[in-house]
Amino acid sequence: MENIEFKLINPIDYKKDVLQLVHQLNPNKDVSFLEDTLNEVVKIPNYNCFAIFSEAKLVAISGGWTTIRMYSGKHLELDNVVVDSKIQSNGLGKYLISQIKEWALKNEYTCIGLNTYVSNSRSHKFYYKEDFSILGFHFEHKF
């Protein structure tokens, strides 16, 4: 991969590409649901979208939410971390996470957290290699 660039983006400016990447991670979700959700997410002031471009093409993204947690302090919660499936295993995920870590340190976060699907064992192995550890279980109640 050449001409790799990390930057924060407004995902609405890259909506088609962002939705294509997020749909890869969430294939059971209807694209219209993902689009409606994206349109709401960008309205929330504590949301950031991190992006990797290769040859000016969007190839990886992650959302990031700023929270304050009693157990950790200023916390960056990553959401929908995805590298285009056609080019995975080329170091882009590692680069994305390293750039997010650097950004978080510069912005005085105390930690980074994320959820990953139980069935996504490749991601578990990846996050262990990136010095993440399992802290607990994520529970939800759907309406």
Among positive and negative, which fits the CA dihedral 74, 79, 84, 89?
positive
What mean pLDDT value characterizes the chain? 94
For the chain, the residue count is 143
pLDDT for res 117: 86
pLDDT band at 111 (very low <50, low <70, confident <90, very high): very high
pLDDT band at 137 (very low <50, low <70, confident <90, very high): confident
For residues 79 and 57, give the distance between their C-alpha atoms in angstroms, rounded to a whole number. 21
Secondary structure class of 7 (helix, strand, coil):
strand
Q: Which residue has the tokens 């295993």?
A: 89
pLDDT digits (tens, 9 = 90+) for 32-72: 999 999 999 999 999 999 999 999 999 999 999 999 999 99
pLDDT for res 1: 55
Residue 122: closest CA among 68, 82, 86: 82
